[in-house]
Amino acid sequence: MIVTYLDVDPHEVPARMPSPYGPVHPLARRAAEQLRDELRGDPLEGKMFGVLVVEERGRIGFVRACSGMLDGRWDVEGFAPPVFDAASRDAFWPAAERELAELTNALAALDARIADARAAVDQHAAAALILRARHRERRAERHAQRASGADAHALDQQSRGDAAEKRRHVAVGVPLVAALRALEDEAKALANARAGRSRELLHRVFATYALANARGETRPLRDVFAPAEPPGGAGDCAAPKLLAYAYRHGLRPVALAEVWVGPASGGRFDGHYYPPCRGKCEPVLRHMLAGLDVEDPPALTLSIAADEPRTVFEDDWLLVVAKPAGLLSVPGKAHTDCVEQRLRARHAHAMLVHRLDLDTSGLLVAAKDPATHAALQAQFAERAIEKRYIAWLDGEPTTDGGTIDLPLRVDLDDRPRQLIDHVHGKPAITEWRVLSRENGRTRVAFFPRTGRAHQLRVHAACGIGIPIVGDRLYGIPSDRLLLHAEAIRFVHPQTNKVCEFVQRAPF
């Protein structure tokens, strides 16, 4: 057994297991802090660790687990083992890894040959440009010589010589292009073969996972995600390992927490607690928690606000409204109620020009006709519209402002979270300035120069290093996110007048 027992008063034990997606229970936090103390000083890469507080014959303790592998190993002394059947996996996976590695190496070798072939084609194309320029100059010289009465036959001979030279050069290029195309086709076929083989092997990997729950039911991993396929790494996070271990050893789960330990990465910070990811863990936990008395999870989104968007300005072409927190800007998958829908009850063709996060309050601009909509969107695309946001940071930055330039993309395994990605991310730039400091928090103004999803929230958490108060995705959840779109400035598409609107933050 790998249970670490705790000295706990009975009143500290929750009557119902708190939802893993809700606030961290004090017992789970205590266990996690003990784990962090044990790991302190180890040269770890940033990684998510989990603790599960359990009850065994009246005694309270906790079990540890990490997400994925630790130090290149699945089985680590003192930690819950992986969920998959190790013997079944070991029967084919080492050979499968070698096979995939060979295919990967073959693709890398082909890529090198393709690079050489492409360089040869490019070099030939460059030589063709030089040859074309030389022929153009000689053609001009012949034209001048003909005008001065030079020997026409000799000049015709020169012209035919240039044409022959061009044909010879083209002939040299034909096999170069053909060789490049053949290599590219070969690489495409090999990449498709590797992808197909990888899918086959992944299905075999998934078959080694059997997920139990508190009712004694066991389901295959693919069945839990059906009709979709499980994402890579599903079942390997800390939470499924912890629950599987508890069920296997007759331990009653009491409280669960996951904490990031080590250097920051992907918008996660040392010592911060995070709920299980939605993409890989939610379907797994939905099954594995069945049969336990677990508190209902908080909604992924806030309750839809009952307040109507208040009209700040309106004319024949556009509207400016103040959106309350908790109301979608446009329809979502689970809700159709939104600012745009409510505006269309009064203006049939109203279209929002931009959006605010569900949790964010503040100013939104809507157009009443397609021409105005297109003109305003063009201003956004050209970064001609100026916006100012007000927020409270959950801490005190070491500087009084600056510019954050961190590209963003969606976290495919944990939507709607966004990640910093310097390779595949889209440009995201924010200027910011401290307005005041009070009781360990900091009031700031944000001036976004781009409009990426969750840009200010990620830039606060990762660029400044301090999340916005109440940020349930990148910080610590609370009653509401303290982020408000306070001001917007743009040129009216119809009157050409500069319009500026301000709606003070309600906090």
Beta strand 318-323 with 310-314: parallel, antiparallel or unpaired? antiparallel
The span from the first CA to the last CA of the chain, in angstroms, equals 50
Tokens representing 50?
């989990």
Can you tell me which residue has the tokens 């108060």?
Answer: 469
Structural element, H or E, at residue 455: helix 455-458
Sort residue 58 into left (φ over 0), alpha (ψ -120 to 50) or beta. Answer: left
357 is catalytic: yes
3-state helix, strand, coil in the chain (%, to 5): 35, 25, 40
Amino acid sitting at position 267: G
Sort residue 250 into left (φ over 0), alpha (ψ -120 to 50) or beta. Answer: left
List Cβ neighbours of 431 (8 Å cut-off, separation of 6 or more).
401, 402, 403, 404, 446, 447, 448, 449
DSSP string, 167-213: HHHHHHHHHHHHHHHHHHHHHHHHHHHHHHHHHHHHHHHHTT-EEE-
The active-site residue, picked from 357, 359, 414, 471, is 357
Can you tell me which residue has the tokens 């964010």?
Answer: 360
Helix axes 152-206, 93-147, angle to 10 degrees: 170
Burial grade of 491 (CB within 10 A; 0-12, 13-18, 19 or more): middle
DSSP string, 149-176: T--HHHHHHHHHHHHHHHHHHHHHHHHH
Q: CA-to-CA distance for 184 and 171, rounded, in angstroms?
A: 21
Residues designated as active site: 357
